Chains A and B, each alone.
Chain A
Amino acid sequence: DIQMTQSPSSLSASVGDRVTITCRASQSISSFLNWYQQKPGKAPRLLIYAASTLQSGVPSRFSGSGSGTDYTLTISSLQPEDFATYYCQQTYSTPPNTFGQGTKLDIK
């Protein structure tokens, strides 16, 4: 299985901050990398697919980048509704399409 490691595991930030979350794969995944946002008690929501393509309806303050084994999710200016847990997922190798362990973003 391809292992996905996110950093940091948790992060405190303020409204208006720029935030970056990193996801590292145990081998190259050729940009088959998705990002999801999950709020408590809710299903995950797709934010970005193929490393950098914004899903329809997702605010443009979210962006993704990366290649090979290293990928980042950036929120350019945090809004109150962005405080949540974020997961990366690789879909280069099936099965399984492994998820990262998550990054919990909370209010400073």
Chain B
Amino acid sequence: QITLQESGPTLVKPTQTLTLTCTFSGFSLTTGGVGVGWIRQPPGKSLEWLALIYWDDDKRYSPSLKNRLTLTRDTSKNQVVLTMTDMDPLDTATYYCARHYGPEFYFDYWGQGTLVTVSS
């Protein structure tokens, strides 16, 4: 059974750094074709693709947020960590992590999401 779970703060202040952890089970991030991605969704709005880390530790970031995002992984703990610097109220959103599977490239398993509010 594949599961993913996001964890981290629910409230951050403007200019602070957000750190979110995705803890997963039922698959390995070292298996070829597998990745873990992050997607966010502001309240009432569409989905926004943020970043993706692949089985070979290759990482891709949204160009619009690239300077603010960092992905790291701990394969022994089955965790992927997303950090986002310089948080702004416009970053208020539900943040999801999801398993990314190739070669067709899709998110087939998702975490439940975590709502992060940016406010002073």
Contacts and interface: CB of A to CB of B under 8 A. Distances in A.
Q: Which secondary structure characterizes the binding site on chain B?
A: strand
Interface residues of A, number: 25
Interface stretch (B24-32, B84-92, B109-117): B109-117
Given A32-B105, A50-B104, A96 B49 contact: yes
Interface in A89-108: 89, 91, 94-102
Interface stretch (A41-49, A66-74, A76-84): A41-49
A22 interface: no
B63 A95 contact: yes
A36 B52 CA distance: 18
A97 B113 CA distance: 19
Given A94-B52, A94-B60, A95-B61, A102 B104 contact: no
Contacts of A26: none
Contact of B60 (A49, A55, A95): A95
Contacts of A94: 52, 60, 105
A91 B51 CA distance: 13
Contact of B49 (A46, A50, A98): A98
A95 B47 contact: no
Contacts of A55: 106, 108
A43 B113 contact: yes
The 4 closest A-B pairs by CB, nearest first: A91-B105, A43-B110, A49-B106, A96-B49
